[in-house]
Amino acid sequence: MTATSAAHPSGSTGEVAPQRLALVDLLDRVLATGVVVSGEVILSIADVDLVHVSLQALISSVRVDGDRPWPAVAGPTQSAHQPEER
C-alpha cells in the first residue's frame, strides 16, 4: 500500500494551482457525497436536502428581494486573495 495513493501525482498538472479550494466545489462534495451510516446517530445531515433547500431558499430570497445579507460570494480566483474580512 503506497502512502501516496491519494497524494499529488507528478506536478505538471499546471491547472491545479495551490489556491484555496472553491467553496462550491467543496459543498458539492461534503454535502452530498461520502459515507452515510445513520441509525443511532445523534445527527446525520444525510438528508442533505434540508440544507440544500434552506440554502436554496435563502439564495432565492436574496435574489427576489434584492437584499444581500452578505457580499456576493466571490468566484474561485477571487476567494484565493480575500481572507474573511466580511
Partner 1 sequence: MAEELGVWAYAITTFRSEPKDVAGVTGVDHEPVRTVEMAGLVAVVGTVHLDEFGEEPLRRKLDDLDSLEAIARAHHEVVAFAARRAPAVPMRLATVYRDDARVAAVLAERHDDLLLALKQIAGRTEWGVKAYAANAANATAAAGQAEADASSTRPGTAYLLRRRTQLSAGENARHEAAESARDVHETLSGLAVAARLHAPQDPQLTGEAGWMVLNGAYLVEDAAAERFAAKVRALRDRHTALRLELTGPWPAYSFSAIFSAIEDKEPSA
Partner 2 sequence: MGRPSPQQRIEVDRDSAERGLAALVLTIIELLRQLMERQALRRIDQGDLTDEQIERIGTTLMALEERMDELRKHFGLTPEDLNIDLGPLGPLLPRE
In the complex, which residues of this chain contact partner 1 (CB under 8 A)? 1-10, 12-13, 15-16, 21-38, 40-46, 48, 50-51, 54-56, 58-59, 62-63, 70, 72-76, 78, 84, 86
CA–CA distance, 38 with 77 (Å, rounded to integer): 37
Half-sphere exposure (CA, 13 Å, Cβ side) for 61?
A: 7
Minimum distance of partner 1 from residue 66's CB (angstroms): 13
Give the torsion through C-alpha atoms of 21, 55, 84, 23, to 10 deg: 0
Candidates 1-9, 20-28, 38-46, 53-61; binding stretch for partner 2 (CB under 8 A): 53-61
